[in-house]
Structure 1
C-alpha cells in the first residue's frame, strides 16, 4: 500500500480501500467504502429514514444528513486513484485468461477482462459492474459517461445521449455533480487551473503597469516639478512687490495634485460586476453595473471593454451559487439548447459602466466581461432567460386597498379571490370583475373572509368562502349570488365553528370540509345533511391547520392537511380514518422536511402536491408522498400558492393586490 492509500480510510469502518471495497465520495467530502454505504442505507431504510427519491444519507463524521445525487448509489463518484495500484495487479477470473482485470461484477464477486466482460453482460444484462477507470464508463459504447439525464436519472455517454435521450432534459455530469459537491477539495485540478489563470492575469497587469506607466510617471513628475518652481517663483515675486496678496491657495493645491496624479488605465483586477438578479425576462431587460476602482482616465467603451454572451446548457436549479469550480468550462461551451440575449453598454458615472441585457429566447446564457482583453475576476456570470410571470391585478374601485388572503380559479379560467381588507370576494376573468359580499353578518356578507375554493357539485360549480369572524362558511354561484350558509358560532359541537380558515369541497360526498384553527378540528358539512366532526386530536394527534385541500378518486376521498404545529403534511382518508405523514421540523433543510409550512396546492391532473414553507421553498410530492423536487423561485416572500387546473399554471400570492401566474415550464426550470 503506497502513502496515498495509507492516508485514506473509510469513515465508517476505518479500514483502507480496495476491491471490492471501492472508495465512494460523499458530497461532504468524506469517503466511505461501498459495503458500509449500503449497510448505512439498509439501517436507514429499516428506520424508515431513507427514500430512494429523496436520496439522503446520514454521515457519521458530519453527524448530519447529506444530499446525494438522484442516481443509483453505485453511480456515486469513485476515487479510483486510491485503488489504482491494486486494480493494476488484478487478473481476469476466467479459466486460462491471464489478461489484466478491467472490471468487477458486484453480483458474481469476480473480476473480468474487457472481452469476457462483454460476454458476461450479454448473458447477465442486469448485473452491476465497477470499471477500473477514472469516471463512469459506458460498457455499451466503450466510452466515458459525461452527461446526466435529469428525466431518467441516469448517467450517459455522448452516444447514449444522442441515440436514446435526445428529447430528455440532459446536462453535463460535472455540472450536475457541482450541485452536491461544493467543497474546495473537489476537482482540485480545476482550482489549480483557475489559480494559474489568476496569476497569469496579475502578471500581465503588473507588466503593463510597469513598462507602460513608468515612462509616463517620470515625464509627469518632471513637468510637475517645473510647474511647481514656476508657480512658487511667481507667488514670491508677487509678495516681494507687495502689489498682490497670496490668494487662490486651494485652487493652486488642487491643480498641483491633479498634475501629480498618475493617468492609469483601468485594471481588470480592480473591476467587478454587481447585479441584483440572474433572471432576465423574455423580451425584457435587466441592468448589470460594471465598476472600476482607482480609475482616473475616461473610459473608451469600444477598445477598453469587450462582452460575450453565449448560450449554454441549462444548469440545474440552484447551481448558480456553486459555479466556482466549473464556471470557466461552462462559459467556454456554446450549446444549441441554451437561451439567447443581447447587450449594450453605456457610461453612467466615473468608473461605472451599465450593461443592459435583453432576453431574446428562453434558456441559459453566459456573460463574460473583458477589460483590456483580460477577463475580470467576477466573470463569467450565468443568467436565465425566462418567460415573464403574468401579473394579475385584483384591485377594484374599493374603499381600501385589496389584500388577498386566498384564491382559486373556476373551470372557465376566471379568478376568485377573498379580499380581507374590503370584506368581499372578487370573481374576474381579467376584464370584468364581479364583487360579492361587504361588511356585515347577514347572508352574503363577511367580516373577515379567509379561505376560498370551488368545485362542481351535481353539475353546478359552487364557490365556498370561510368567514373567520362570522364563524361560518358561505356558498356562492359563479356570478357571486349567495346560495347557502353553513355553520354557526358556538362550543365544540357538530356544526359549530369558532375560527374557520381553510375549506375544501368533495364532489363524491357532496360535502364541504372546513378547518377550524381555534378548535383544531375539521368538520364536514354535507350540502344536504347534518354536519360532523371528521378530524380531531384523537385521529392524528395534536395539530395546527395551516391549509386544507382534497384528493378524490372513485374509491376514496383524502383530505390533504398542512400541519404547521408539527411541520408536516398529512393525508387523511375520510372513509377508513387512516393517514400518512410526511415531514418534520428537525433538520428542516432536508428534502421532504418543512420549516413552518403555510400553503399547499394540488395538481389533480399529474397527481402532484406542492407545499410552501416559511423559507419560501415549494416542495413537490406525488400522492404517495415521495419527494419529487424543490422549487425555489427568487422573489419576495410568498404567502399563498394555488395550482389552477383550468389555466395549467401556478398562482402565487404575496399578500398584496395582485397575483403572479407561473407556467409549468418555469416550475420545471427551477425544480431541483
Structure 2
C-alpha cells in the first residue's frame, strides 16, 4: 500500500535535507529529540560542543556509549531518499548499473542493493540463493505509484549476522534479532522470549497511534498559535506606528501647551518691562527737575556767602529762603521703583517635572479574551465593604495582565443609582472590585475590559441584610456535611473551620469559603464541648472531665485528666501551650500547664456560670462569658480581675445569656447572646461599638473569627454553623 508521501518531484527538499550541511541526508541518524542529521555532521558537531545540544531545538542530548554510531538510523528518510533517487533516474535510455546497459535499459530497482537492474540482470539477481530475500521494485510499480510503495523499504540486517534479516523481537531484551540470534544468543527461556516482529509491530503501531492522538491536539493548538503570533508579528509594526503617532500627538500637544505658555510669559515680561520703564522714566524726569532746582538754590546761596556784601546777603536771603521752601514743600518721590522683571517658577513645577517623567506609559499588551474572563460574585452584605474577583485571561485561558485604565466596573442599585466601585490588582490577571452598597436587594454589576463586556456581564449581585448569614454550613444529621448539636468552632492553620459535634461525638472540618466538608474524626470519651488549636495546629478539645489533643489529621496524641477538672466547657490555648479552661461546675477558670497540671484557679467567688474563653496575649488578658451573670469578666493571667462589662437586657450593648466570645486583631471583643442571637462588638475596654447581626440559627454557642473576616457561629439547636460578615 502506498504512503501519502507524493512522488520525488514534489518532495519537500527541506524534508530530505540535513539542517547542518544543507545537503541530502547521508546515513541519517535520529537524536533522542527525534530530529535527524547526517552521521558525519553529528560527529563533527560533537567535537565542537559539549554538552551536546540538538542543532535544531537546542535540547541537551546524551549519546549512547557507542557515540553517534549508536544512534538509530532513520530508515524512513533512507527509503524516501532511495525512492527520490530512483524516480529521477528511471526511464527510457537509463542504463543498467550492473551490466552498464550492454543489453537493455534499467527496468527494476533492488531495494537492498540500491542499484538499477535491466531485465536480464534482474533474473540473474533473483537466482542467487543469498539474494533471494532482496526486494525488487519494477519500473511499472514506480510509475503507477502515487507515493512510496510499502514494498520500497530496505530490509534491516542483523549487526551480528550480516546476511540475516531482523525478523524477531526479544521482549525481555527489547532488541530486534535475526533467526540465528534466536538460536545462539536469544533462545527462548527465562531471560529471552523472541517473537515475530509482525505482532510486536502491530502493538507498536497502536501505541504510535495513541501518541499521535495525544500529540495532534497540542500540535494543532501550537500551529494555530504560531499562525496567530506570525499574524501579530506582521501587525506589530503597524500597531507600533499607530502608537508612535498617538504618542507623538500627545507630546506635541504638551509641547504646544508649553509653547503657548512660553509665549504668554515672554509677552507678559515685555509688557511688564515697558510698564516698569515708563515708571522709571517718569521718576527720573521728576528727580532730575528737582535736582536742578536744589543745585541752583545751593549755588545761589554759596555765591552770596562767598562773594556778597552784607547788604547783598540781606537782600538775597529772603528770596533764597522762599525758593528752598518751595523745593522742600514739593519734593520728588524717592521711593524705589520696580527696576527688574523676575520670572518665578510655579509651585507645581516640581510635581510637573515628576509628571513629565510619568507622562505616557508604554506597554506590550496581551489581547484579553473577554469571552473567557470570569467574575466571581461573593456574598454581599449591606453597608459592608464587599468584593468581587475578576480574572482576565487571553484566548488560551491563561491569566494575563491588563492596565487599570482598561477596566470599567459599574454597580447600580435596584433604583438604578450608581454605587461607587474601586479596582485593586491582586496579582497577575487578578483584580478585586470593591463596593459598599447602601440598600438591600438585587444590584447589577457591569464589567468591561477594553470596552468589551466580560462573559456573563452584567451580573446579578444580591445584597442581603446584616442579619443574613453569608454562608450556612451543615444541616441536621450524622452523615458527611451534616451536624448534630454543634457546640464550638475553631479555625485551623489552613483557614478551615473545625466544628465540635456533641451528639455525633466528632469534629468535622469544613472549607470556610465553600462550606464543603473536608474530613472528620471521632472524639474519645463522648460529649465534647470546647475546641481550640495550639501553635502546632493540633486540636485541643474539652469534654467529659478531660482534655484531649488530636493531631491535624485527627489522631489522638494525648489525654489529660487532671484532678482539678470537673465539667470543662470553653478552652483557649496560649502560644506556649498553657491552657485556660472554663469549668462551669466549679464556677471558675483553670490555668493549666501543657501537661494538664494546675497553675492557678481563677475567678472563684466571682463567676457564676463561665462558658467560653478568649485570650488576648498582647495584653496578657483572657475574657470569659458568664451565662448567669450576663456579663463578660476580664482577668489577667495572674488571676486578677481587671474589669467586667455588660448588663442583662434585650437592647443593643446588653447581654442576655452570653456564650461564644473571641477577640479581633485590634483587641475588640466579639460576643454572642444565646437567647436573642445578638452578635455584638465591644472595644478593648468593654465599651459597646456595634451590632454585627442577629444570628438566625437557634441556640448560638461558640464563635470564631475566620482569616477572611467572617464570624463563624455554632448553632446548637439549629444543627449548623453560620458565617456573618465582620467589618
Normalised to the residue count of structure 1, the TM-score between the two structures is: 0.38
Flag the structure with larger Rg.
2
| Greater share of residues in strand | 1
Normalised to the residue count of structure 2, the TM-score between the two structures is: 0.35
Greater relative contact order, per chain length (Cα 8 Å cut-off, separation 6+): 1
| Greater share of residues in helix | 2
